[in-house]
Amino acid sequence: MTTRIALGVAYRGTAYQGWQSQPGGRTVQDKLEAALSAFVDAPVTTLCAGRTDAGVHGLNQVVHLDSPVERDAFSWVRGTNRYLPPDIAVQWSREVPPDFHARNSARSRRYRYLLLESPVRPALEADAVGWSFRPLDRDAMRDAAARLIGEHDFSSFRSSECQAASPVKTLYAVDITRHGAYWRFDFHGNAFLHHMIRNIMGCLVAVGTARQLPGWIDAVLASRDRDAAAPTFAAEGLYFVGPQYDAALGLPEHTPAMDWIA
């Protein structure tokens, strides 16, 4: 008899080759599964809500696993974290129904991109923010972003390595705010293609620095051609905020690190 457990996991992606397990074990999934296996003294495999690339961070990555043992929710957090490196930490644990699926049960997903606007490159915040040494125009970027809202074929923003069955996704909102020298771009959609956010960011920065006009985004979107868009933007400033599920499940959607990068 197994029990299905959902965990919320936060991590700094700088030292890892992304989320998904790879030979060599230098991924977040490899570290998490090794820690879970040590904690329950049995092999454990996990499935996540959304895979992240090398250098991308997670604030509330959700995974599920089928546990062969019974443990208190608090024990899943403290016990697993005992075996994890300092840049990965389980935030919460909940028992979920047997049919819960971290990826397929998600109703939407949220990402955040943090960007430093400064003539000088990041130092203290290196590997935690993107960077633009040119000034950015908020109104122009908001105009461009608004053109992406809704259901579209996002092929122009899709990596050639993307394995999604369809390039058609729905983007619910793109919110662009600024605090001092730091910009925050919040993306909310039903699902995202491989490199989709980073490719959109490349285009928004091109518009924000006046290398393109906001209406250029319409042409990029309509072309359905990756070559029509700007280069893929840096991974360092991208955070997977997390998935959203049916409220009846009662799964947390907030972790302390979300306040730190606010």
153: left (phi over 0), alpha (psi -120 to 50) or beta: beta
Q: What is the pLDDT along the chain (262 residues), one digit of tens a residue?
A: 889 999 999 999 999 999 999 888 899 999 999 999 999 999 999 999 999 999 999 999 999 999 989 999 999 999 999 999 999 999 999 999 999 999 999 999 999 999 999 999 999 999 999 999 999 999 999 999 999 999 999 999 999 888 889 999 999 999 999 999 999 999 999 999 999 999 999 999 999 999 999 999 999 999 999 999 999 999 999 999 999 999 999 999 999 999 988 7
CATH 3.30.70.660 segments of the chain: 108-239
What are 104's strand-pairing partners? none
pLDDT of residue 75: 96
Q: How far is Cα 228 from Cα 241, in angstroms, rounded to an integer? A: 28
- Catalytic machinery residues: 53
pLDDT of residue 260: 86
What secondary structure does DSSP assign to 227-251, as a single string? GGSPPPPPSTTEEEEEEE--GGG--
pTM, two decimal places: 0.96
Do residues 204 and 144 touch, judged by C-beta distance below 8 A?
A: yes
CA torsion sign for 66, 71, 75, 79 is negative
What are 152's strand-pairing partners? 169
Q: Which CATH class is domain 108-239?
A: alpha beta
pLDDT of residue 1: 80
Helix axes 196-208, 216-223, angle to 10 degrees: 150
Do residues 240 and 46 touch, judged by C-beta distance below 8 A?
A: no
**Apex 96 CA angle, 91 and 97, nearest 5:** 165
Tokens encoding 117: 């606007």
**Which DSSP helix (H) or strand (E) runs through 58?**
strand 57-67
Q: Which fold has domain 3-105?
A: Alpha-Beta Plaits (3.30.70)
CATH 3.30.70.580 segments of the chain: 3-105
